[in-house]
Chains A and B, each alone.
Chain A
Amino acid sequence: MTRFHQTFSFDGTPVACTDNETIASALDRAGIRVLGPGQNDCAGRYFCGIGACQACVVSVDGTRMEACLTPARAGLFVQRIGSGAS
């Protein structure tokens, strides 16, 4: 069993992730609930878990993707959308 031996970057902070998990669950375990500034006080966040609500969309190596559908992987460069260059 391989666990927590790898990290990806979330807005510059390393976040530990396990094999096969999504970016959303790694961020959740790290206690990160706000996934972006969002629009009009509707911050980016995990909600439906099945790629329907689009609320957890983040920038993954420069492309917008749902954190709940995207596998976490060592070395990924994940950013909140609207929080700087993405």
Chain B
Amino acid sequence: MSAEVLVIGGGPAGASAALHLARAGLHVTLCEQGPRLGGALHRQPDDPAQRIRVPRAQSQRWRALSTALEASSVQILCRHMFAGIEGGGTVLLEDRASGRLVTRRPAALVLALGAVERVTPLPGWQLPGVTTVGGLQVMMKSTGQAPDGDVLVAGSGPLLLALAAQMAALGKAPVAVLERSPKLVSPSVIASLITAPAYLREASHYLLALARAGALPQHGTWVRAISPRDGRLAVTIVDRHGRDRELVVDRVALHDGLLPNQNGTAAPSNGPFVVRAGDCREVLGGVAAMADGRHAAKAVLAHLGRSTEAEPSATRVLSRERRAQAAINALYDYSGADPAWLPDETVICRCEGRTLGQLRDLLASSDPVSAREIKLNGRFGMGACQGRFCAEWVAAFIAAQRDGEPPAVSEIIGSRWPVKPVPISAFVTLPPSRPSE
């Protein structure tokens, strides 16, 4: 038996990498944190009879890949959370069904952890009922039903359009879709998307569905603040003329772009050979993720001294998707609110409720405050999400307050295992298991 290759993440990149490694004759284990494969993009429904409509090419791509994966020798472990690589180079996994820590020493490790959503802070973004756009979308993909109540979708990016159109297709369009960017589709963007026409088709379907539902995106509008009111959410909206108005809704879905999910994944020098694949390496979407999985497999095979063939088609797909994503992103405005006008009570650390006012106080002290002190004394970036949803803003506020260079986000986050909180009981109740090799 050849040495094990461990692939973390059961989305398109991880599934593709695992399949291609197994086809090359390697012993591959694919770990997924959730109960099913698919990732956020190809989230499978709880009940196969109730699924939302997604573009046909998208569902066909996943069906082909998952069918091939089922027929392959890849060992699939669902509900296995990647906890990190400890100092000695051992890969730690938390088996959620048994509550046990599983340790592995693979010959290579492929990290396919996907993307995390970026949400820019605003007063009230921490309230229950406020979710990310992707968070609301994965719930809808799972249940096959539109979320109940009145929904406001706001921020910037193509995901706003996808969520809103999928809700409209279920007969329950959002009450409003607020797109911060004033730009509409331009001829130059269409021209640069000619080589990736699927995006144009997808966008036109979405816009048509929203036009029919009377819920086309309102460009140049954004959310100033959210506050609780009688069990609902009162949202102050700024229109493109700078005027405020108020809307009372049940849910607000926010989104300001995607970032690679890379927290805590730096490989120790004595650890396994590590390759990143898909959105956690570079956010290029699902088509690119499958191609990138092939690249990752090739890198692992080369490292293990196996002969590999060039992957010209995967390389072509990646450059085409990179151009397409750049063209699409040029239409959007991911900047969020100007930190200067955010009120002191704005929560920055969503885990522990640390506010912008508390951060401003720290920064106002006469001695320069280091990023480490802001974390250890101010507790910014210290909570359970490990800075995933605040480190970028903490760094930006430090820069804005002291008109200097911002600290690197990595200074605030740090880079050490565990990647996510792991119950102490997983370490102490039972000795770590070591599967036979």
Contacts and interface: CB of A to CB of B under 8 A. Distances in A.
Contact of A1 (B34, B47, B136, B347): B47
A19 B33 contact: no
A45 B127 contact: yes
Interface string B346-373: 0100111110000000000000000000
Interface of B: 33-36, 40, 46-47, 49, 79, 81, 96, 99, 114, 116-117, 126-132, 134-139, 142-143, 147-148, 261, 347, 350-354, 383-385, 388-389, 420-421, 423, 425
Which of A34, A44, A50, A71 counts the most chain B CB atoms within 10 A?
A: A50
Contact of B134 (A24, A28, A49): A49
A51 B115 CA distance: 12
Contacts of B420: 51, 54
29 contacts: A3-B47, A18-B47, A21-B142, A21-B143, A39-B351, A39-B352, A40-B353, A42-B350, A43-B127, A45-B126, A45-B128, A45-B129, A47-B131, A47-B350, A49-B132, A49-B137, A50-B40, A50-B138, A51-B34, A52-B385, A52-B388, A53-B385, A53-B389, A55-B385, A57-B421, A65-B96, A68-B135, A69-B33, A70-B96
A52 B40 CA distance: 12
Given A65-B96, A69-B33, A70-B96, A54 B128 contact: no
Contact of A42 (B33, B134, B136, B347): B347
- Chain B interface helix/strand/loop/mixed: loop
Contacts, number: 125
A48 B117 contact: yes
Contact of B35 (A20, A29, A40): A20
B130 A25 contact: no
Contacts of B34: 51, 69
A61 to B, nearest CB: 9
Nearest to B50: A1
A35 B425 CA distance: 22
Contacts of A1: 47, 49
Q: State which size class the interface on A falls in.
A: 35 or more
Nearest to B142: A25
Given A54-B420, A64-B423, A69-B96, 12 more contacts: A19-B47, A21-B143, A46-B128, A46-B131, A48-B116, A49-B132, A49-B136, A52-B261, A52-B389, A53-B350, A63-B425, A68-B135
Contacts of A14: none
A20 B46 contact: yes
